[in-house]
């Protein structure tokens, strides 16, 4: 809320910062690691203040940020970690799919992404409390959980507005479109990796193009 701060990457789409501004918090930008262009953990440390409440690392161009270091920083300071994985559906971090280990991870299904619903996205979390809040938030703050109802023995038609939410649901048609593509996610990611390797091979030796290093070199660098 107002007065709080949220650390995020200096290279990102606007939404990684405006989500903090929507609730009156202040986004604070930290510099990126020079090769992968993902949030630099040391720069994040320098950007933290006692008012920092959350950190939003951004996985850039399919390359996950240095999440182990970032999570350790967040754990030591009690910060919420929200991964921006709009670029990274299908990527892995330390042998696990991106989106498995932080408080929340967001994915984009915009038309330029390799799985698309036309527009929209998804949030993943392993926290049942956050999942409950997210479901209400996307649906006008409305729920049908009888344990929270304020009237006795409501019928199956009954529902209550528990929070101030929004209409952030995907349509059924959009959801069906996205689900139909999930079985092809693996081959599509491999195709993109093959194209990236082609660029690396063609740009190898070009001065000032750090992206020309191989996948193996990039892994060693990180």
**Residue 159 binned pLDDT confidence (cut-offs 50, 70, 90):** confident
Alpha carbon distance 81, 86 (integer Å): 15
* Residue 212 clears pLDDT 90, i.e. is over it: no
- What is the DSSP track for 140-158? TTEE--GGG-SSSS--TT-
Beta strand 121-124 with 104-108 is: antiparallel
At residue 153, the pLDDT reads 66
Examine the pLDDT at 114 and tell me if it is beyond 90: no
Strands 80-84 and 52-56: parallel
Give me the mean pLDDT over the 152-178 stretch.
87
pLDDT score for 222: 41
Q: Which residues of 4-39 are buried (b: 16+ CB within 10 A; e: fewer)?
A: ebbbbbbebeeebbebbeeeebebbbbebbeebbbb
User: With 0-12 CB in 10 A as exposed, 13-18 as middle and 19+ as buried, what is 181?
Assistant: middle
**pTM, 2 dp:** 0.86
- Chain centroid to CA 170: how far? 17
Among the listed residues 53, 113, 133, 138, the single catalytic one is 113
Q: Return d(Cα 19, Cα 22) in angstroms, integer.
A: 5
Q: What is the DSSP letter of 52?
A: E
Q: Check pLDDT > 80 for residue 99.
A: yes
Residue 130: pLDDT over 60: yes
Give the Cα separation of 26 and 3 in Å (integer): 7
Beta strands in the chain (DSSP E): 5-9, 26-30, 52-56, 80-84, 92-93, 96-97, 104-108, 121-124, 142-143, 160-161
pLDDT surpasses 50 at 211: yes
Question: By percentage, how much of the chain surpasses pLDDT 70?
Answer: 93
Q: What is the arithmetic mean of pLDDT over 140-145?
A: 86
Name the pLDDT band for 59 (thresholds 50, 70, 90): very high
Mean pLDDT, rounded, for 180-184: 92
pLDDT of residue 221: 43
Average pLDDT of the segment spanning 22-38: 94
Does residue 162 have an active-site annotation? Answer: no
Across the range 52-64, mean pLDDT stands at: 95
pLDDT of residue 213: 54
| Alpha carbon distance 114, 201 (integer Å) | 23
Six-digit token string for 193 = 């990796």
What is the helix (H) or strand (E) element at residue 191, kind and residue range? helix 185-203
């Amino acid at each position: 809320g107002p007065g709080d701060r949220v650390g995020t990457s200096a290279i990102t789409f606007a939404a990684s910062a405006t989500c903090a501004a929507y609730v009156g918090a202040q986004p604070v930008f930290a510099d990126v690691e020079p090769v992968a262009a993902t949030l630099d953990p040391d720069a994040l440390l320098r950007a933290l203040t006692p008012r920092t409440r959350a950190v939003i690392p951004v996985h850039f161009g399919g390359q996950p940020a240095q999440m182990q270091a970032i999570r350790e920083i967040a754990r030591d300071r009690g910060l919420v970690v929200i991964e921006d994985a709009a670029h990274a559906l299908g990527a892995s971090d330390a042998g696990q799919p991106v989106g498995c280990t932080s408080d929340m991870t967001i994915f984009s299904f915009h038309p330029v992404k390799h799985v698309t619903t036309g527009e929209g996205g998804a949030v993943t979390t392993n926290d049942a409390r956050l999942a409950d809040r997210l479901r209400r938030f996307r649906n006008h703050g409305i729920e049908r959980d009888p344990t929270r109802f304020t009237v006795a023995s409501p019928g199956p038609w009954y529902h209550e507005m528990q929070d101030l939410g929004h209409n952030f649901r995907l349509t059924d048609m959009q959801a069906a479109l996205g689900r139909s593509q999930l079985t092809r996610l693996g081959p599509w990611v491999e195709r993109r990796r093959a194209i990236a390797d082609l660029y690396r091979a063609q740009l190898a030796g070009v001065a000032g193009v750090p992206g020309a290093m191989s996948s193996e070199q990039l892994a060693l660098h990180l």
